Copies of this chain bind each other. A is one copy, B any other.
Amino acid sequence: MLKEITGGIAAPKGFTAAGVKAGLKKSGKEDVALIYSSIPAAAAAVFTQNTMAAAPVIVSREVADKGQASAIVINSGCANACTGEQGLIDAKAMAHITAAALNVPDDQVLIASTGIIGVTLPMDKLETGIKQAAKALSTDGAKNATLAIMTTDTFPKSCAYEFELAGKKVRIAGIAKGSGMIHPNMATMLSCITTDAAVAAPVLKKALTDAVNVSFNMVTVDGDTSTNDTLAVLANGAAENPVIERAEGAAYETFAAALKEICIYLAKQVAHDGEGATKFLEVTVKGAVDFTDAKTAAMAIAKSPLVKTAFFGQDPNWGRILCAVGYSGAKSQPETATLSIGGITIVKKGLGASFDEQALRAVMAEHDISVTVDLGQGSATATVWTCDFSYEYVKINGEYHT
């Protein structure tokens, strides 16, 4: 139903993007991204629940609450987190500088930062960078914008699709940066989605929340929820479909499904690029009494260092997986638990089953592995995405020195 298209985050009509080198990253790579809609867009966003939320999160929450924005500016290299009063002043200045350069009101600019915690923004460099980015805005700017939000991600994460909405061609695109507090002291997940669909802000927020609950909220790398997590979506209506005013009906369902698909795609990309990952794990728990229980059990499996190191070692260690389910808090009992890896059933009713060991070895040797646990307690299902725990994870996070 969704057709992949080129153009990345700037593919939807009315959007332009840019990524420039402002010198915030020691590496000298792109570190300021700007995404702009020539038409004020309906805006919705979700943010970290961390009580140590960074200054840009506090500022962007206010903008998102108003439901309208024209631009998103993102810097990497400095998270502007744990920076107190000065951090808030800098975050507001970051929005103001962007607004002035684009000639839009300050409260129409969403901001996000990722990078070192506890250090204030180098505002002179940032101001120069934002002004450069504003000049560089173009429909070809997606690639640089995607590069500019990366920290130690090993590959850029971007996608763009076209689909039909009430007879109109509509485009939706997204970019994301990786999960895990990627580099020591680095803050985590940032994502931005643009669409030229016409959607009322409250409806956009509802669709975004539903999409996040089955995508980004189902990803874990190390269980550490950062201070800066931000996901923002702008819908500028340039596609001229009849405005979706209510969270119901065919048009809404079509749009919500597209948004969900793009969020799941980006979320899985984030898990794929988890710190030191050598495996991508899709953990599905079914037969739970409700979704919360299913998610709780799936997350316990996906977060367990014992399970993650077992997959790194390509060991189908079902004792650890059942053990994680057992302590998760989800309603479960051995007698009704079934477990399969890569479609091969290895546990039936809590007991080891006989299976083709060679086939299972082959499954464990693959990069993408599915784990399915049927709790046999009900009919609810949840799927979580994660990666394994490798020496590289310890290296990335242990060998760094501040």
Listed in ascending order, the chain A residues whose CB lies under 8 Å from chain B are 48-53, 81-84, 116-118, 181, 184-185, 222-227, 303-306, 309-310, 312-320, 322-327, 331-335, 337, 347, 349-352, 389-391, 393-395, 397-402
Q: Are B118 and A352 in contact (CB under 8 A)?
A: yes
Q: Are B51 and A333 in contact (CB under 8 A)?
A: yes
Give the residues in chain B near A50, CB-CB below 8 Å. 323, 326-327
Further contacts, 11 of them, CB under 8 A, given A181-B320, A184-B317: A51-B331, A84-B349, A184-B315, A223-B305, A224-B304, A226-B323, A310-B397, A312-B394, A315-B402, A317-B402, A393-B394
Selected from B185, B326, B391, B399, the residue in CB contact (under 8 A) with A53 is B326
Give the residues in chain B near A347, CB-CB below 8 Å. 82
Q: Are A81 and B224 in contact (CB under 8 A)?
A: no
Chain copies in the assembled complex? 2
Q: Are A313 and B222 in contact (CB under 8 A)?
A: no
Q: CA–CA, A352 to B81, complex, Å?
A: 11
Q: CA–CA, A227 to B320, complex, Å?
A: 10
Q: Are A222 and B394 in contact (CB under 8 A)?
A: no
Q: CA–CA, A312 to B226, complex, Å?
A: 21
Q: Take A313-B398, A323-B226, A323-B227 as given contacts and tell me if A350 and B49 are in contact as well, using a CB distance cutoff of 8 Å.
A: no
Selected from B49, B82, B84, B397, the residue in CB contact (under 8 A) with A306 is B397
Q: CA–CA, A381 to B49, complex, Å?
A: 24
Q: CA–CA, A269 to B49, complex, Å?
A: 35
Q: CA–CA, A351 to B55, complex, Å?
A: 13
Q: Are B118 and A351 in contact (CB under 8 A)?
A: yes
Q: Are B118 and A83 in contact (CB under 8 A)?
A: no
Q: CA–CA, A390 to B320, complex, Å?
A: 20
Selected from B84, B318, B351, the residue in CB contact (under 8 A) with A334 is B84
Q: Which residue of B lies closest to A49 (CB)?
A: B327
Q: Are A393 and B309 in contact (CB under 8 A)?
A: yes
Q: Which residue of B lies closest to A390 (CB)?
A: B394
Q: CA–CA, A181 to B326, complex, Å?
A: 14
Q: CA–CA, A351 to B80, complex, Å?
A: 11
Q: Are B224 and A334 in contact (CB under 8 A)?
A: no
Shortest Cβ distance from residue A226 to the other chain B in the assembled complex, whole angstroms = 6
Q: Are A118 and B319 in contact (CB under 8 A)?
A: yes
Q: Are B117 and A310 in contact (CB under 8 A)?
A: no
Give the residues in chain B near A334, CB-CB below 8 Å. 51-52, 82, 84
Shortest Cβ distance from residue A367 to the other chain B in the assembled complex, whole angstroms = 16
Shortest Cβ distance from residue A400 to the other chain B in the assembled complex, whole angstroms = 6
Q: CA–CA, A332 to B400, complex, Å?
A: 28
Q: Which residue of B lies closest to A331 (CB)?
A: B51
Give the residues in chain B near A81, CB-CB below 8 Å. 319
Give the residues in chain B near A350, CB-CB below 8 Å. 52, 82, 84
- Residue pairs across A and B with Cβ atoms less than 8 A apart, 20 shown, are A52-B323, A52-B337, A52-B350, A82-B319, A82-B322, A82-B334, A82-B347, A82-B350, A117-B323, A184-B306, A184-B317, A185-B320, A224-B305, A225-B323, A227-B319, A309-B393, A309-B398, A312-B398, A389-B394, A390-B398
Q: Take A224-B320, A306-B181, A323-B181 as given contacts and tell me if A400 and B315 are in contact as well, using a CB distance cutoff of 8 Å.
A: yes
Q: Which 9 A-B pairs have the closest CB atoms?
A: A117-B319, A52-B326, A309-B397, A313-B398, A225-B327, A50-B326, A309-B398, A222-B305, A312-B398
Q: Are A325 and B391 in contact (CB under 8 A)?
A: no
